[in-house]
Every structure is written in C-alpha cells, then in structure tokens.
Amino acid sequence: MNPDQYTNKEFYLDVGDGHQLYVHDWGNPKGLPILHLHGGPGSGTSDSAKRNFDPSVHRVIFHDQRGAGKSLPYGSLANNTAADLVEDIEKIAKHLGLDTFVIHGGSWGSTLALAYSLKYPQRIKALVLFGIWTGAQAEIDYIEKGRFATHFPDVWQTYLEATPESHRSNPGKYHLSRILGDDEQAARESAITHLNMEGGIVRLDDRFSPNDPSDPMFDYTFVKIEAHYLVNHCFMPDRYIMDRAHKLDMPVWLVQGRYDMVCPPAAAYELHQKLPNSKLIWTIGGHIGSDRETNTVMRTILLQLAEKG
C-alpha cells in the first residue's frame, strides 16, 4: 500500500517475536474507526482495498500481517499463527488508542476477524465481512480437493495435469508440501501451479492470465505463507469458529457472492444461522470483493455505519 492525500501516517509496530508490522492510518482522523484485514493468508494489503471506504467519514487502519507485504521480516513463518495475528490486532488497537471499532475483511480476513472477535468481543462495534471463510476442514477441502470442479472443470483438470499421477488423489497435499519444501525450484513450480488454480476460479469471468511455472523471477512468498496456514489447518481446531459463533452477539454483516468458488457459500449460510445478530446479503459475484455488486453493498453498509457513529 502506498501513501496518498488521505494518509494520516505510516509506521512500523514491533509486536514481538522478531516481527515488525507495517501499519497505514488512512482517512478522517475523527471518522468511524475501521480495521481492515487482508486475505491470503499472506497477500498483504494494497491500494485497491481503499475502494471500500470513504476517507471523509472513515478512519481506516490497514496493516500487513506477519511476513506479508511491507512487514518485516518478509516471508517469515516463525511465530506466524492465527493466535499471533489475533494478538497483533489487539496490539495495534492499543497502540492507536482505539477502544471500539468496526472490522472489515474478506476471505482469510473474515476468518481472522471472527477469531479476533471471539477473543475480544468487547472491542467490536460491528463486523462487515465478505467471501466468508471460517477455516473449517470442509472449506479447505472445497478448493484443495476440487469441489469447485462442478463449475470450473477445466481449471481442476489443468491442476491435475500438473500433478504426478501417483498424487492425483490429493493434489493439494502434493503441491503444498512442495511449496514448503527445501527445493526452491520445485517450490516455485508448485506455488505458481497452485496460484493459477486459485486465480482461475476467483472471478465470474475468465479475466485471468496464468503465471509461467518456469519463471525464475516469480516471488512466491505469499503463496508460501498461505501453504503454511493450510497445512496447519489455520492453526485452529476444526470448526473452531463455526462451533463458537453463537457467542458473537455484535452486529455482523455477511456479504457473500452466490458464485464464490473459493469460499463455499454454504459456509456463509451456516455461519449466518449460528450468529445471533447477523444479516446475510447475497450478491451476483464471485470471490473477490471488487465485483461491482459486492463492492457496492459493502460500501453502502460502511457508509450507513458511519452515519450512525
């Protein structure tokens, strides 16, 4: 993320364990405080995330999670777990003197938002989440075992063809283990293969240009962080969030693309059933929050929250 005319300040926050997080304070200093959580894990925040907010009424705190984006050390997997990231959010809030705030996030960002809210519910004014993902094993299997192939059979076939026949019963396990292995060339090849599979299903259309698996300059760091979380089941017991969602009584808006092939819509629906104070809004969209209808709905919700104060 780069500074612009709405940037209040950028800084690094030492959160311990050898990690320093890049934090970007943006928007109206007196506006509704919002903590934005990026996805991945490992994707880092970017300027495109600003499109969800109005700098005249929102004060948005962006940060790159451990190992991601501008945070240091870049790509570090040491002391990099869901519990660590939850505590990092709390440290950022304390550092900035934020007592209560809205959390906005999608995909992995929604997972982290829910996990933080379970630990620190008193902090949360509201949650505005999209591309709902709770980190349950069934949700991981949806993509790693090709449950999406009912709609993208060509993408899954390409992924299988990039996998040795002896591993095609569980290609995700094969590629994720290579990504985290010591053979850099093999790690890069599997990282790009895995990224191409995910990239091929995130949109409603086919606006995706596959990366070249043989590209020696491709930086696969963020894919490695994602693999680190996936092979460790997001560092949470299975269904940890889903089985505790009934405890979250703050207002929760769930904005879910009907055609999200990365985060199965059934998970958003189940979560909605368990949350005591949630609204589920279906959009004609895929996984990414920049789909027009999804983005419009989120902006509207966030503007309404700002009006209420």
List, for residues 269-278, the tens digit of each pLDDT value.
999 999 999 9
Asked if residue 129 is part of any domain, the answer here is yes
Q: With pLDDT > 90 as the criterion, what percentage of the chain qualifies? A: 92
Residue 85 shares a structural domain with residue 122 = yes
The C-alpha angle with vertex 139 and arms to 305 and 23, in degrees rounded to 5, equals: 45
Q: Is the pLDDT of residue 106 over 90?
A: yes
Instruction: Check residue 288 and give its pLDDT.
Output: 83
Q: Domain count of the chain? A: 2
pLDDT digits (tens, 9 = 90+) for 129-187: 999 999 999 999 999 999 999 999 999 999 999 999 999 999 999 999 999 999 999 99
Instruction: Check residue 218 and give its pLDDT.
Output: 86
Residue that is last in its domain, among 189, 214, 234: 234
Residue 29 shares a structural domain with residue 121 = yes
Distance CA 27, CA 215 (A): 38
Tokens for 256?
């879910």
Instruction: Check residue 29 and give its pLDDT.
Output: 98
Asked if residue 2 is part of any domain, the answer here is no
Neighbours of 251 (CB within 10 A): 17
φ and ψ of 40, to 5 deg = 125, -100
Residues designated catalytic: 107, 260, 287
The pTM assigned to this predicted structure is 0.96
H-state helical runs in the chain: 82-96, 108-119, 137-144, 153-161, 171-179, 184-199, 221-231, 265-274, 292-308
Q: Is the pLDDT of residue 290 over 80?
A: no
Residue that is last in its domain, among 206, 234, 262: 234
CATH number at residue 68: 3.40.50.1820
Asked if residue 82 is part of any domain, the answer here is yes
Residues 6+ apart with CB under 8 A from 83: 235
Q: Is the pLDDT of residue 208 over 80?
A: no
Residue 219 shares a structural domain with residue 286 = no
Residue 127 shares a structural domain with residue 69 = yes
| Domain that residue 223 falls in | 139-234
Q: Is the pLDDT of residue 206 over 80?
A: no
Residue that is last in its domain, among 181, 207, 234: 234
Residue 208 shares a structural domain with residue 273 = no
Residue 229 shares a structural domain with residue 244 = no
Residue 159 shares a structural domain with residue 262 = no
Q: With pLDDT > 70 as the criterion, what percentage of the chain qualifies? A: 100
Asked if residue 1 is part of any domain, the answer here is no
CB-CB contact of 194 with 140 (8 Å): no
Residues 6+ apart with CB under 8 A from 149: 155, 156, 157
Residue 33 shares a structural domain with residue 164 = no
Residue 263 shares a structural domain with residue 196 = no
pLDDT digits (tens, 9 = 90+) for 39-53: 999 999 999 999 999
Residue 179 shares a structural domain with residue 40 = no
Least confident of 71-85, 203-217, 291-305: 203-217
Beta bridge partners, 103, equal 35, 127
φ and ψ of 126, to 5 deg = -170, 160
Residue 51 shares a structural domain with residue 152 = no
Residue 214 confidence class, pLDDT cut points 50, 70, 90? confident
Q: Is the pLDDT of residue 8 over 90?
A: yes
Instruction: Check residue 289 and give its pLDDT.
Output: 73
Distance CA 172, CA 28 (A): 43
CB-CB contact of 272 with 299 (8 Å): no
Residue 156 shares a structural domain with residue 78 = no
